Structure 1
């Protein structure tokens, strides 16, 4: 079954990890490093997007609400509807810290930061 943007509602995690993420201006801002799942509710809590750095050194990791990632075929990656300022000031941490406490703190903080419910 397709989503509102015409994509399927099911996707393999292996196809998501490593996919580029762009802002609405078309600038590459990072890539999906991981996907955090909530196994008790069968939902995705958030995507971990890596920003900056080189070969993993100096990279910053952000929890990005899964529903905010929209795949664009012509871009070959996900587009997020956030401003450059929102992305630059987004809460960041290590992947380990983002997933502590079942990732709920990271998810809630990201939702609040991006003004989402």
Structure 2
């Protein structure tokens, strides 16, 4: 579901973010946001989980991307990341039935991959 509101509110419900398309800076659609991972202590969104690949949701991989990499682009009704499909090919990922624990070690793996 794309976010199309013209509201100036600075907060948004997670159900409006989930399903939003994600594009690279060239305008190619990479996938859509499947989930948000929220830090239990701070309440801040740490990762957007990008759903990419597969067919009709079958065989789809999920790629956690640091939230601060995503920028919302109203002209595309979606988020833009400075990544291309080749970068995602080597990125940390998992299937829907094998969600990892987002512990310090896994978070460090994601952050290191993206240079954070």
1:3 maps to what in 2? none
Matched, 1:115 2:115: yes
Q: How does 1:7-22 map to 2 (within 5 A)?
A: 9-22=10-23
**Aligned residues of 2:94 and 2:100 also touching (Cα < 8 A):** no
**Distance across 1 between alignment mates of 2:63 and 2:41:** 23
**Distance across 2 between alignment mates of 1:105 and 1:75:** 34
How big is the alpha-carbon RMSD for the aligned residues of Structure 1 and Structure 2? 1.9
Ranges in structure 1 where 5+ consecutive residues have no aligned partner: 1-6
2:4 maps to what in 1? none
Higher helix share: 1
Classify 1:20/1:10 alpha carbon distance in 2 versus 1 (closer, same or farther; 3 Å). Answer: same
Ranges in structure 2 where 5+ consecutive residues have no aligned partner: 1-7
1:29 maps to what in 2? 30
Give how far 1:26 is off: 0.5
Aligned residue for 2:37, secondary structure, equals: strand
Query: 1:83-107: CA deviations, max 9, x gaps?
Result: 432122111113464441x444443
**Aligned residues of 2:59 and 2:95 also touching (Cα < 8 A):** no
Classify 1:32/1:22 alpha carbon distance in 2 versus 1 (closer, same or farther; 3 Å). Answer: same
Structure 1 runs of 4+ with >3 Å offset: 95-99, 102-106
Provide TM-score, normalisation by structure 2.
Answer: 0.82
